[in-house]
Amino acid sequence: MNNKRKPFVAGNWKMNGNRSLVESFVASLDSDVAQHVDVVICPPAVLLSSFNSASFSLGAQDVSAQDNGAHTGDMSVDMFKEAGCEYIIVGHSERREDHGESNALIADKAKKVLAGKLTPIVCVGEPLSVREAGNVESYIAEQLDALITALSVDELAKCVIAYEPIWAIGTGKTASPEQAQDVHRFIREYFAKVDEALANGLRILYGGSVKPDNAKTLFAQADVDGGLIGGASLKVEDFISICQAAN
């Protein structure tokens, strides 16, 4: 963690949670937790309207790349904005896998989110086979290239990047702090080739089996600016300890 960049912790509830979980978060997550950390909860879209708290921000888990129209089941940036979202996750590996989302589509989505003046949290990360073959950097570079091609330097500077190795998501196999730092450094250096100031200011989150007992060492890495938390963001005490670890 670098003290020039404000720490950031986002909880991605995925397809989990209900109104009673929302209530426990609103009751327990007070503004002390979010004093020095940007705290975001990304619940399923239907739960967004149940949140009423000024202590943390809201995010969506995905968005359409279209403005409106005949796209059954999709939701637009404007809709999420009206529902109180400040952030939208795009390119999560589960969206890439379950819905065949391409790097180009994800870059379009990020551009649309920025046009609506919200912040995209853009996910990248490799499957185990790519890591075992020693191709992590070229794989991540290809994911970043689509974004760098579609967005201006000013737009890129407004993004948050999340590195989520697929083999670490929901598996309990967290990347070691060194593995996380190696890829985070690579990502920052890759952006530095575009623009140094952009790279220095960019917040890069780690995601993949972050828990209260490993958060502190992960967040202590120089290029890890916080986390994107799945399973542990469904337990309010665990999520609070992870936010505290980022403080």
Ligand X SMILES: O=C(CO)COP(=O)(O)O
Residue of the chain from 7, 17, 165, 231 that contacts ligand X (CB under 6 A): 231
Q: Does 164 bind ligand X (CB under 6 A)?
A: yes
Of positions 228, 242, 243, 245, contacts ligand X by CB under 6 A:
228
End-to-end CA distance of the chain: 10
CB 75 within 8 A of CB 64: yes
209 binds ligand X, rule: CB under 6 A: yes
Tell me: does residue 170 bind ligand X (CB under 6 A). Answer: yes
**DSSP string across 25-81:** HHHH--TTTTSSSEEEEE--GGGGGG---SSSEEEES---SSSSSS-TT---HHHHH
Q: Is 12 within any annotated ligand binding site?
A: yes
164 is catalytic: yes
The pattern of x and - marking residues 86 through 125 that bind ligand X according to CB under 6 A reads ------x---------------------------------
User: Which residues would be at the binding site for ligand X (CB under 6 A)?
Assistant: 12, 92, 164, 169-170, 207-210, 228-232
Task: Please give the positions annotated as active site.
Answer: 92, 164
Binding residues: 12-14, 170, 209, 230-231
Binding residues for substrate: 12-14, 170, 209, 230-231
